[in-house]
Amino acid sequence: MTACRHCGLDVPADSPVAPAFCCAGCAAAYDTVEGLGLDAYYQRRCLDPAVRPLRPDEDGAPVDYGAHVRDEADGIKALHLMVEGLHCAACVWLIESVLARQPGVVSARVNMTTRRLVLRWRACETDADSLVASVAALGYRLVPFDPAVLDREGERREKELLRAMAVAGFAAGNVMLLSVSVWAGHFQGMGPATRDLLHWISALIALPAIAYAGVPFYRSAITVLRAGHLNMDVPISLAVVLAAGMSLHETATGGPHAYFDSAVTLLFFLLVGRYLDHRARGKARVAGEHLLALAATAATVIEADGRRRIVPPTRLRPGMAVLAAAGERIAVDGRVTAGTSDVDTSLINGETVPAPVAPGTDVFAGTLNLSAPLTVEVGAVGEDTLLAEIVRLVEAAEQGRARHVALADRVARLYAPVVHGLALLTFLGWWLWVGAPWQESLLIAIAVLIVTCPCALALAVPAVQVIASGRLLRRGILVKSGSALERLAGTDTVVFDKTGTLTTGRPELMDDTAIDGDALRLAASMAAASTHPLARALVRAVPGAPVAGGVREEPGRGLAVAGSGGEVRLGSRAWCGIADDDHHSDGPELWLARPDAAPVRFAFADRPRDDAAEVVAALKERELAVALLSGDRGPVVGATARRVGIDDWHAGCAPGDKVVRLQDLAAAGRHVLMVGDGLNDAPALAAATVSLSPSTAADVSQTAADAVFQGDRLEPVLEALGVARRADRLVRQNFLLAFLYNGVTIPLAVAGLVTPLVAAIAMSASSVAVIANALRLGRGRAW
């Protein structure tokens, strides 16, 4: 398989521009750089029938794109499509550039994470089929957006890295054992014949492994070199290849020095880091998929004559009447026209207590109808729903965060050219100025490269990350992103969600000692017949309470049971006949109404975690700003904020409001750590500089977060911040050690005073020093 001339990735066999390029985007980018220009490229490659790739309707069943077009304001049409064959960032650039040049196009945005193309145009100037044809002519297939279609290419690359890591690990273990024998024999009189035999066995193991396992680094190095840039993979690839080549030469000529162990071991450790980083990046797409999985796959439409039919949500239109059965997710944004029930609205406001709904109440797609059937008048469907908006917020935030550049690569941009230039000057100086034979000059130059092999520099970040991640894992904190520690170290503001994050996320009965015991036991026995969260809280307050018989549940209202003197009710104010102004409610409540007895109020609260106030105080003590963003009501949020010591709090925040608040903080120069758990927190977790989520969080929030912590306490937030700051200091110390090592050994190597054996020992010593320094992170307090 050949490499793409533009990006260096493998060229698929079915590439429309094979064998030179992996995709049309790279071909266009290459031609543009070469001076051909995008317009000329489009004319030559796309409009010429001799070279134009087949359109989707020419090699398969036609697609009716018009059926998926949505009307927007001012005569604007919108179409959401999935791009098949999207290979790299050049594809995104090409598709957006070509569409932007079409008449009538208002906007065209491609999301690399989800492969989604959002296209908007003026209906009076063009149509969907013409625009789709302009992209299809580039060699891409466009289909209506379907989140169930997975990215097979990402899975293939992950498997490639895993195979390379396995091969390098097998070779490193075996070659290291042989190298120990050679090193021991060097000081104990091992004969040349035995040494050469061990070198040849090492070569037979190491060379195929280096050729196979190093492909991800070689490909990356070739790519950036063609683009006129440098990254860490360039010196790594050069050192590995030259070390392997020099070792083979030494082995073939009977020389005493071979460095197969250094080359293959370096590859193995770097592949471990590359594989883990790739898996973390792959989680970005999953966040959107988890959210989209909350959408209903079918909806029951109620016709005017009362008949019912099941249709896909894409066929729903505003004004239709849709039935939402108990236990189903609501398929649309709309308004309840018939029925009363309880709806799990945690997607919207993060609250675990279901919200009662009745005719006239607005409901949203993705929320769960719990108690009884509802008839909903359709207000918005598909891409116009609040659920789709949350997905778009997550995608946009993830794209922004993906621009983070690793610290090691930033250093390598300066380090790599200096090292390469120095090795070249060493070779030329010894050959042309000193007059040494070119073989000897090359040997000295290779010794310089071996001495300056970026083992210590390459391990400066991974070694600390591995030890830091291991320490955090032992304390119940799983770090999912390779750059999370670096971003955590720069945090100066911590923003908490309320329900399930600062609090336990489970309502508990308040002041149960002040409630009449008989009333409490009666209420608990009635509540035992219900699954409502507040009823469950009542049952927990009275362990062993018997289940009352004959309890009737009215969805959205409460419970009722026949008593000796009349009906006993437990539920909302209206259900129990309590006027709204009799008591002020600042939280969830239930009322018990009995004949000939005063009504009894049961107040509930979502209690803060045991160490919430202590953690907030510790954050403030370390000069970190602390804020609280919640979708709950103002009085409830304010009471929680005062209880834990947070002065900056905001209530009634929808998912988009949280994202806007975080963007405002970022615009003010703040580096924000977001800690949240609800479905509604996913966009904010993705938008923050860095994010944490408890293990009890929704799947989508755990996916969007950079780290997940276990347990019922918030102390892991302090631990993660403290370890990240220590790790940042150790990384910078490791860089200093690496540069000090090079500052001492490079002049000696350039002067020809360092033999390959000494170079190998010095290189290994620098790596050991870096690792030993990183190991300090595993001991002591985080702060």
Give the mean pLDDT of 594-611. Answer: 88
Distance from C-alpha of 538 to C-alpha of 553, rounded to nearest angstrom = 16
- pLDDT above 80: residue 754: no
Class of domain 506-607: alpha beta
Top mean-pLDDT range of 263-267, 379-383, 421-425, 724-728: 724-728
Question: Which of 67, 201, 55 lies closest to 137 in space, CA to CA?
Answer: 55
pLDDT computed for residue 279 by the predictor: 63
Better-predicted residue by pLDDT, 171 or 186? 171
φ/ψ (deg, to 5) at 648: -95, 100
pLDDT computed for residue 647 by the predictor: 93
Question: The domain 474-504+609-726 is classified under which CATH number: 3.40.50.1000, 2.40.128.20, 2.60.40.650, 3.40.50.720?
Answer: 3.40.50.1000
> Could you say which DSSP state residue 10 is in?
B
pLDDT tier for residue 648 given thresholds of 50, 70 and 90:
very high
- pLDDT above 60: residue 180: yes
- pLDDT above 50: residue 48: no
The SS3 call for residue 370 is coil
pLDDT computed for residue 629 by the predictor: 92
| Percent with pLDDT over 70 in the chain | 72
pLDDT tier for residue 404 given thresholds of 50, 70 and 90:
very low
Better-predicted residue by pLDDT, 27 or 328? 328
The SS3 call for residue 577 is coil
pLDDT computed for residue 494 by the predictor: 95
pLDDT tier for residue 272 given thresholds of 50, 70 and 90:
confident
C-beta of residue 116 within 8 angstroms of C-beta of residue 80: yes
pLDDT tens digits for 367-401? 888 888 899 999 887 767 766 766 665 555 444 44
Distance from C-alpha of 701 to C-alpha of 690, rounded to nearest angstrom = 13
Distance from C-alpha of 244 to C-alpha of 175, rounded to nearest angstrom = 13
Distance from C-alpha of 681 to C-alpha of 674, rounded to nearest angstrom = 9
pLDDT tier for residue 232 given thresholds of 50, 70 and 90:
low
Distance from C-alpha of 310 to C-alpha of 652, rounded to nearest angstrom = 35
- pLDDT above 80: residue 269: no
pLDDT tens digits for 546-591? 888 888 888 778 899 988 888 999 998 888 888 776 455 567 889 9
Distance from C-alpha of 544 to C-alpha of 562, rounded to nearest angstrom = 22
> What is the total residue count of the chain?
783
Which residue do the tokens 């991800």 mark?
216
**Residue 308 in tokens:** 């019912």
Distance from C-alpha of 681 to C-alpha of 662, rounded to nearest angstrom = 12
Contacts of 385 (CB under 8 A, 6+ apart): 295, 332, 333, 364, 365, 366
Give the mean pLDDT of 411-436. Answer: 77
pLDDT tier for residue 178 given thresholds of 50, 70 and 90:
confident
Which residue do the tokens 């939280």 mark?
587
Better-predicted residue by pLDDT, 353 or 130? 130
pLDDT computed for residue 605 by the predictor: 83
Better-predicted residue by pLDDT, 706 or 724? 724
What torsion do the CA atoms of 82, 88, 90, 92 make, to the nearest 10 degrees? 20
Better-predicted residue by pLDDT, 294 or 437? 437
Domain ranges of the chain: 1-148, 298-384, 474-504+609-726, 506-607
pLDDT tens digits for 485-536? 888 888 999 999 988 888 887 888 887 667 888 889 999 999 988 888 888 8
Query: Domain spanning 298-384 has what CATH number?
Result: 2.70.150.10
Distance from C-alpha of 522 to C-alpha of 547, rounded to nearest angstrom = 10
**Residue 132 in tokens:** 């789709």
- Paired strand residues for 708: 478, 693
Distance from C-alpha of 642 to C-alpha of 722, rounded to nearest angstrom = 25
pLDDT computed for residue 479 by the predictor: 78
**Residue 418 in tokens:** 């200096």
Enzyme catalytic residues:
497
φ/ψ (deg, to 5) at 710: -95, 165
Distance from C-alpha of 549 to C-alpha of 38, rounded to nearest angstrom = 77
pLDDT computed for residue 308 by the predictor: 84
* 110-119, 191-200, 255-264, 282-291: the lowest-pLDDT one: 282-291
Query: Domain spanning 1-148 has what CATH number?
Result: 3.30.70.100
b/e string for 657-693 if b means 16 or more Cβ within 10 A?
Answer: ebbebbbebbeeebbbbbbbbbbbbbbbbbbbbbbbb
C-beta of residue 569 within 8 angstroms of C-beta of residue 576: yes
Better-predicted residue by pLDDT, 79 or 223? 79
Better-predicted residue by pLDDT, 599 or 348? 599
* 323-332, 490-499, 752-761: the lowest-pLDDT one: 752-761
Better-predicted residue by pLDDT, 340 or 583? 340
pLDDT tier for residue 88 given thresholds of 50, 70 and 90:
low
Distance from C-alpha of 508 to C-alpha of 208, rounded to nearest angstrom = 64
Top mean-pLDDT range of 41-45, 67-71, 102-106, 652-656: 102-106
Distance from C-alpha of 648 to C-alpha of 641, rounded to nearest angstrom = 8
The SS3 call for residue 426 is helix
> How many of the other CB atoms lie within 10 Å of CB of 97?
18
- Please measure the distance between the N-terminal and C-terminal CA atoms of the chain and give it in whole angstroms: 51
C-beta of residue 142 within 8 angstroms of C-beta of residue 129: no
* 244-258, 307-321, 346-360, 452-466: the lowest-pLDDT one: 452-466
pLDDT computed for residue 50 by the predictor: 42
pLDDT computed for residue 405 by the predictor: 41
Question: Which of 548, 554, 498 lies closest to 526 in space, CA to CA?
Answer: 548
Query: CA of 606: how far to CAs of 278, 353, 507, 524, 537, in Å?
Result: 39, 10, 4, 19, 11
**Residue 277 in tokens:** 């980083």
